[in-house]
Amino acid sequence: MRGFATVVGATTTALVVAMAPAHAAELPVLAPQSFGDFSVQTRYFDVAVGPERDQHCTVVGDIYVPSDLGPDRRAPAILTSHGFGGSKDDQAGAAARFATHGYVVLSYSALGFGGSTCKIYFADPDFDGVAASALIGYLAGDNEGAFLDPARTKQAPALDVVQLDGPDDPRVGYLGGSYAGATGLATASVDPRLDTVASMITWNDLARSMAPDGAGRRSVGPVKSVFGSAFLAAGAILTGPGGYAADPARADGCPNYAQWVCDAASAFAANREPEPATLEAMRHVSPVDYLDRVDVPVLLTQGQKDSLFSLDEAAATYETLRSRGVETSMIWHSWGHNDRKGYPGEFDIKAPDPFTQHEAALVGNWLDRHLKDRDVDPGPAFTYFRDWVPYSGVASPAYEESDTFPVGARRTFDLADGTLSEGVASNNAWTQTIRDAGSSTHTTLGLPSIAAEVPVPRVSIPGSVAAWTTAPLNEPVDVVGAPELSINPTVSGPATVYVTVLDVAPNGARSPIHGLVAPAVLTGSSDPVTISLPSIVHRFDRGHSIALEITASDPSFAGGPGPADVTVSSTDRINQLSLPTVT
């Protein structure tokens, strides 16, 4: 790690000063590309992990080395891994691209995946972070524990092509998405040799991501049952018989997982809050727990089409790091766990090209600036993709840039008798009741949020939904950020409701924004509650309407307190929807 300061000048000012105007992006100025040849060789690493560094695992990785490098001509390195259920091979396209651009790249399979042994620890700093730290040592020239064969009988030669900032200190950045996005941050928290992290579509708080409570009154809310079940099954099955045969300890206790994973699954299945020790374990593997130990520049990218790890996960990490003076930038791109394919000219996860893809250019420039000392503009603090902006070729015109976050100003809509309106008082008495909120029986039917981009309408049984809609809009309303609903309902007991903002087309079709839903646990308190919905980037176009729905269930969730009846009425102290809008 180089001895440069990561403190952002006047960071506090950047967060609180008056909003600077946002502006459309342009494709960043890029360095010339060499497109040189490179070699690829597989290595097997014996790594000691765990809090006491007493558990040995084998990590398999591929090392990409540009052909013109040697002891007297060295280059910086990129360490990269994959998303949940993947392997080192998933990064082959990106690794090859960076190798042609003059980087040494080490792509590896995370613990529990793709030929690497030991269990899945969900990017735990003590396991996955320490394993990545051992690979940083290999990049620095330490070949102890590096082998040419899976049986680890033939020691690999020392690597002597990576630029060094000091003894045992390689110039290296971490690039990864989803599971690997968290691993990169975990690695930075345990190894100060890492110089920068580019973390994509990952979590800030795993418990909140998997079981959110938009009301913020409980540590967890209803569980994302589809995602949760998929994770549990995939992790246990994907390793296959060969994985268990190579490492029989993976079958002990919770199959192929740390024990807390099965404990959490059991608690959620029984519709109860996990034990404190389980919640502590979920927090331990979350950046929210260790960001105070991350001091290197961080680029965060998060997806609008993502109901697993919402935009708010990146926003929480961004605000924490910036408040500590750590250089941090954030991109809200279109793609995510709901749909991995970006818009044309935006980003191709398998074949990133900075000359034809705007986000790839931002990522490439970030790494070049921090690893190759390129004198380039650091880029905007915050940039976001707007799917309503027409363009051809590179997606730069569809990106808006801002020196501050959050952006825009809030507009408030009052709930009345089935309507949403701005500044129009209504003296009419009205009441809407959501029956059996939090029932284990699904009363809202449709596809789960992971398939939200498939145009299948949601249908709610009468009595299980309350809805409010604006008149058709005279002008577009552009929303960037988290909607908030403030209500003071009457509840017959502990209940769970699900809150959604929808776009209503002129033909009446009602579309939740990328399937994003906010569960909220209502305890029966007499105090008003503000429910924070997942952040969105969306244009409600002219002639369309903005709608709000509160339902008793949602196809993507299971569990939560209830059932009970929830009544929203004109006599409540507050009934308002707030939208962060930009012009």
User: 222 with 245, same domain?
Assistant: yes
User: 224 with 299, same domain?
Assistant: no
Residue scoring higher pLDDT (284 or 237): 284
Residues 251-256 have a mean pLDDT of 91
Residue 27 belongs to some domain of the structure: no
pLDDT tens across 25-63, in order? 776 666 555 567 999 999 999 999 999 999 999 999 999
Residue 429 belongs to some domain of the structure: yes
Distances (CA, A) of 512 to 304, 356, 446, 486, 509: 13, 31, 11, 19, 10
User: 299 with 387, same domain?
Assistant: yes
Which pLDDT value is given to residue 8? 38
- Please, is 40 exposed, middle or buried when counting C-beta atoms within 10 Å of its C-beta (0-12, 13-18, 19+)? middle
User: 170 with 311, same domain?
Assistant: no
Q: Are 219 and 72 in contact (CB under 8 A)?
A: no
Last residue in a domain, options 281, 307, 331: 281
Distances (CA, A) of 568 to 418, 421, 574, 576: 11, 16, 10, 11
Residue 110 belongs to some domain of the structure: yes
Mean of all residue pLDDT scores within the chain: 91
Which pLDDT value is given to residue 33? 55
Nearest Cα neighbor of 534 from 580, 491, 465 is 580
The pLDDT of residue 289 is above 70: yes
User: Which residues fall within 8 angstroms of residue 33, CB to CB, at 6 or more apart?
Assistant: 100, 101, 355
User: 492 with 396, same domain?
Assistant: no
Q: Are 62 and 95 in contact (CB under 8 A)?
A: yes
User: 231 with 316, same domain?
Assistant: no
Residue 558 belongs to some domain of the structure: yes
Last residue in a domain, options 241, 257, 281: 281
Residues 481-507 have a mean pLDDT of 96
145, amino acid identity: G
Residue 326 banded pLDDT, cuts 50, 70, 90: very high
580, amino acid identity: P
Which pLDDT value is given to residue 13? 30
Residue 176 belongs to some domain of the structure: yes
- Between CA 235 and CA 265 the distance in angstroms is 13
Q: Are 566 and 551 in contact (CB under 8 A)?
A: no
User: 274 with 292, same domain?
Assistant: no
Our count of domains for the chain comes to 4
Distances (CA, A) of 492 to 103, 375, 440, 464: 62, 62, 17, 15
User: 306 with 222, same domain?
Assistant: no
Which pLDDT value is given to residue 217? 84
pLDDT tens across 6-17, in order? 333 333 333 333
Residues 85-113 have a mean pLDDT of 95
Tell me which residue has tokens 């524990």.
Answer: 145
Of 21-25, 55-59, 274-278, the least confident: 21-25
User: 272 with 245, same domain?
Assistant: yes
Residues 76-97 have a mean pLDDT of 96
Other Cβ atoms closer than 10 A to 93: 15
Residue 415 belongs to some domain of the structure: yes
- Between CA 150 and CA 291 the distance in angstroms is 35
The pLDDT of residue 382 is above 60: yes
User: Which residues fall within 8 angstroms of residue 404, CB to CB, at 6 or more apart?
Assistant: 14, 15, 17, 19, 20, 381, 382
| Residue 278 phi, psi dihedral angles, 5° rounding | -70, -45
Q: Are 131 and 179 in contact (CB under 8 A)?
A: no
pLDDT tens across 165-222, in order? 999 999 999 999 999 999 999 999 999 999 999 999 999 999 999 999 999 988 888 9
210, amino acid identity: M
Residue 426 belongs to some domain of the structure: yes
User: 421 with 559, same domain?
Assistant: yes
How far is residue 49 CA from its own chain's centroid?
25
The pLDDT of residue 162 is above 90: yes
User: 125 with 261, same domain?
Assistant: no
Q: What is the CATH number of the domain that holds 478?
A: 2.60.120.260
The pLDDT of residue 474 is above 80: yes
Last residue in a domain, options 281, 296, 330: 281
User: 168 with 230, same domain?
Assistant: no
The pLDDT of residue 446 is above 60: yes
Residues 273-301 have a mean pLDDT of 94
Q: 10-14, 373-377, 455-459, 467-471: which has the highest mean pLDDT?
A: 467-471
Domain span at residue 81? Answer: 33-182
Which pLDDT value is given to residue 265? 87
Q: What is the CATH number of the domain that holds 309?
A: 3.40.50.1820
The pLDDT of residue 545 is above 70: yes
Residue 224 belongs to some domain of the structure: yes
Residue 163 banded pLDDT, cuts 50, 70, 90: very high
The pLDDT of residue 412 is above 80: yes
